[in-house]
Structure formats: C-alpha cells, structure tokens
Amino acid sequence: MGAEEAMVRQGSNRTAPTKSATNSSGRVVFRRLKNRIAHGLFLLATLVGVVVLAVLLFDIFKTGWKWLSLDLLNNFSSRFPEESGVKAPLWGSLWLIAVTAPLTFIFGVGTAIYLEEYAKQNGFTRMIQLNISNLAGVPSIVFGILGLTLFARGLQLGQSVLAGALTMTLLILPIVIVSAREAIASVPSSLRQASFAMGATRWQTISKVVLPYSMPGIMTGTILALSRAVGETAPLIMVGAVTFIYFTPGNVFDSFTVLPIQIYTWTGLPKEEFQQLAAAGIIVLLAILLTMNALAIILRNKFQRRDG
C-alpha cells in the first residue's frame, strides 16, 4: 500500500504543474483577446472622425474649387456671385491675428511666468489657477458679451479691429496660460539650481534658462490657440463686426469683418452660387489654419534644435 500511495502522489505532482500552465496560458490568451478588441474599438473611433473629416473636405473642395482664383482674393463682397470675393474679410482676419498674437503672447506668457516662478503656492494662487482652467471651457459667446460690454461700449472702441482683437485675446488667453504653464513646469529643476549656483538672479534664470527651454511648447500652444481664434464667429458678431464691407482696415480703429462671418453670410443667401462661394471661402480659411499649424511645427523644431 505504501508503494501505491507514493505512485499516486507522484502522479498528482506531475499533473498539477500541467493544469497550472494551462490556466496561465488561458489567461494570457484572454488578455491578448481583450487587447485586440480594445485596439479595434479605438481604431474604429479614430476612423469615424477621420472619415467624417475626409467626406467634409471632399465635399468642400468639390463645391468650391472652381471658384478659387485671384479674383476671389482681390474682389470685395457683392450682390452678384461672379463679382464677389474675400478681400475685405481676408484682410480683416489678418489684422485680427496681427493684433491678437502679441497681446495674447505678452499677457499669457507673463501670467504663466508669475504663477510658476514667482507666486507662492497658497489658497489664493490655487484659486487663480482653478479659475483660469475653468475659463478655458467657457463658451465663446460669453466672451463676446463681455467684449461688447467692456471694449465696444465701455472703452468706446465700437466696431473696430482693436475691440475684436481684445475680445479674441480674452477668449484664448486661458488656453495660452495653461499651455505656457505646462511648458515652463516641464523645465527640470536641476537647470534652475545650476543657474542659481552660478550666481544668476531669478530673472536671469527665467530669461536665459527657463524660457529658451520651454519656448517650443509655448509657441506651439500660442499658435494653436490663435488658430482657434481665426475660426471664431460668435464673439465677433457680438462685438459688432460688420457683414458687408467694401474697404480693408487701415488701422486698428477701423471697422472690419472676418472670413467666418463672410462664409456664414454667404451660406444664408438664396442663390446656389453663394453657397459655392462659401465653400471657396472655407478653403481659403483652411489654408490660413494649415499655414499657422505648419508655422507652429517649424518654430517648435527650430527651438528644439537650438536647445539641443
């Protein structure tokens, strides 16, 4: 009996590892299956957005391509589709970007530097940071109402480029502050400590070490925020940007219109040719946005090579 029991125990010991290995192999197969299912779902979600975007772009280019010409860029808006163009809104958009960009960069980066390098981390500072993050999600129409009350009427700027640029600055300023803070916070503390150890002041450390290191992220966030401002319509309508205009702005106090407003106006007109003109205007607007995004990539790569 003792020999038989020993043989039974030895057999059970041999079969136990086999069952354990089988269970482990099954769990591995199940995990791989879940991974493939999740990968397929995420790929499907990505393809939905890409396909919808491709369909929209195809329809826009198919409709508006034949209207693209130098006359479209050199003519003002008219009651006749064949004589209409985007000269006034195109120059208005460029004026708006030219005024909004420096204001946004100065105030946004300055605020980010203060919050990251100078402000003490207390309850008041955390409240400011929380409010800035919340402002980034406020609907744009709210900023339009604020711009109308504060700039157009309060400062008596009226329907001017400056009023629109200040309103756009308020709109994208929270985004720029958040992106600039993240870029500045990514600078290793060892670089700051090394600069202080060599006798540099706080401002010298910020200007010579922190800002050059974080500039790629700051520039990328700023230009992408400006790209959002270029496509906004509601805040500028609230400020009073005109629909039809037959001159280009000569200074920041002139009236103006922008491409999104002109496109919105054309889509509401009864003639089919105006809808086709709206598609051509969208292509021009997309060209501006793609140019700005390309500029962001070029600047980021340039600063990265310089830091390297």
- Comparing 29 with 169, the larger pLDDT belongs to 169
Same domain, 55 and 183: no
Flag whether 95 is in a domain. Answer: yes
Our count of domains for the chain comes to 2
User: Does pLDDT of 55 surpass 50?
Assistant: yes
- Confidence grade of residue 23 (pLDDT, cut at 50, 70, 90): low
Q: Which of 74, 75, 139, 88 is nearest to 241 (CA)?
A: 88
Residue 297, pLDDT > 70, answer: yes
Residue 17 has pLDDT above 60, yes or no: no
155 pLDDT above the threshold of 90? no
pLDDT of residue 8: 47
Paired tokens of 62: 């198919």
For the CA atoms of 26, 32, 36, 41, what is the dihedral angle to 10 degrees?
80
Q: Say which residue, 168 or 77, is predicted with more confidence.
A: 168
Question: Does residue 122 sit within a domain?
Answer: yes
User: 98 and 43, same structural domain?
Assistant: no
Does any domain span residue 4? no
User: Is residue 235 a part of any domain in this protein?
Assistant: yes
Among 291, 285, 298, which Cα is nearest to 220's?
298
End-to-end CA distance of the chain: 79
220 within some domain: yes
Does 112 lie in the same domain as 85?
Answer: yes
* Domain shared by 62 and 76, yes or no: no
List Cβ<8 Å contacts ≥24 apart for 68-74. 68/280, 68/283, 68/284, 72/277, 72/280, 72/284, 73/284
Kindly state whether residue 9 falls inside one of the protein's structural domains: no
Give percent of the chain above pLDDT 90.
Answer: 12
Taking residues 112-138, report their average pLDDT.
84
User: Do residues 44 and 136 share a domain?
Assistant: no
Do 25 and 131 fall within a single domain?
Answer: no
pLDDT digits (tens, 9 = 90+) for 194-238: 888 888 888 888 888 888 888 888 888 888 888 888 888 888 888
CATH number, domain with residue 82: 1.10.3720.10
To the nearest whole number, what is the mean pLDDT of the chain? 83
Same domain, 26 and 75: no
Least confident of 15-24, 139-148, 196-205: 15-24
Q: Are residues 60 and 200 in the same domain?
A: no
In a domain, residue 126? The reply is yes
Are residues 115 and 259 both part of a single domain? yes
**pLDDT score, position 104:** 92
Q: What's the half-sphere exposure (Cβ side, CA atoms, 13 Å) at 193?
A: 3
Domain-terminating residue out of 67, 84, 103 = 67
| Residue 34 domain boundaries | 18-67
113 and 47 within one domain: no
Distances (CA, A) of 7 to 10, 11, 13, 18, 166: 5, 6, 10, 17, 89
291: left (phi over 0), alpha (psi -120 to 50) or beta: alpha
Would you say residue 53 lies in a domain?
yes
Q: Which of 88, 86, 92 is nearest to 71 (CA)?
A: 86
7 against 159, higher pLDDT:
159
4, burial (CB in 10 Å: exposed 0-12, middle 13-18, buried 19+): exposed
Using one digit for the tens of pLDDT, what is the confidence trace for 28-52? 777 888 888 999 999 999 999 899 9
Residue 113 sits in the same domain as residue 34:
no
pTM of the model: 0.78
- In angstroms, the CA 291 to CA 283 distance is 12
Half-sphere exposure of 203 (CA within 13 A, CB side): 1
How many residues would you count in the chain? 308
Domain identity same for 233 and 210: yes
